[in-house]
Homo-oligomer: A and B are copies of this chain.
Amino acid sequence: MSKGQIKWIRSLKDKKTREESQTFVVETEKSVVELLQSNWTVQKIICTEVFAQKHAQLLKKYPAERLLMLSESEIVQASQLENNKSALAVVQMPPKNAQPQAEGFCLYLDHIQDPGNLGTIVRIADWYGLQRVFCSLNTVDIYNPKSISASMGSFLRVSVHYVELDWLKNYPHVILGADMTGKNLHEIALPAQALLVIGNEGHGISYEVKALVHQFISIPRFGEAESLNAGVATAIICDNWRRAHKQ
């Protein structure tokens, strides 16, 4: 591989470059395989010979010029993750949905900063069958390689939308906020249609968003830990919601 190509792939770790080219990188065998099974537009697949042989069936539909076979050490060089030795793919971003529908139970992430947390939350949304995750504009980018990796392929199924505060003001259903001061999750009835706001890792829900929350809910605590991390809190609330709304 030319140094230019490695440079191009590595440049996609920057959000600005991703935005301009409307492309991002998917890494590791598991995620690339899931990607190839989807109907997303893959611009380039870069993989080892071992990967290409193992997944020959999946690769058949791609013209030869979209495929690039490299050694393990070259893959490591091009990768942005530490543990990837087998494959990466340059993928076209899906078109942005200007008016995403807000039906059922959805999440709204208010300034989530850690890309791993964002990916984990998308994975949890996928597990619980939620279709959409909305994010404040200052939430970390879903196309960050660490977000994509932590989502374990769930980014292919859950759509993530970045929205202005005005969007939240016009939300048609109940807005719930996860907050330590809220009502005990085990003692209230969660509505079938709602938006659950998850706040920033260190500071919780922002002032502006708090003003729009209709009901604060809390996860009952029985011991002394000060808090739970954002992904864990999201999962517990989704599980409680699913207990009441199985369909």
Contacts and interface: CB of A to CB of B under 8 A. Distances in A.
Which secondary structure dominates chain A's binding surface?
Answer: loop
A102 interface: no
Interface residues of A, number: 35
Interface string A122-160: 011111111000000000000000000000111001100
A74 B219 CA distance: 40
Given A186-B243, A220-B242, A243-B186, A154 B235 contact: no
A224 B130 CA distance: 10
Contact of A126 (B129, B223, B235, B246): B223
A226 B120 contact: no
A229 to B, nearest CB: 7
Contacts of A225: 123-124, 126-127, 152-154, 157
Contacts of A240: 239
A183 to B, nearest CB: 15
Nearest to A128: B222
Contacts of A128: 221-223
Given A128-B222, A186-B243, A236-B239, 14 more contacts: A120-B232, A124-B232, A126-B225, A127-B219, A127-B222, A130-B223, A152-B225, A157-B225, A158-B223, A220-B242, A228-B235, A235-B235, A235-B236, A236-B236
**Nearest 10 interchain pairs by C-beta:** A129-B222, A129-B223, A126-B225, A127-B225, A232-B235, A126-B223, A236-B239, A154-B225, A123-B225, A128-B222
6 contacts: A127-B221, A127-B222, A186-B242, A235-B235, A235-B236, A239-B240
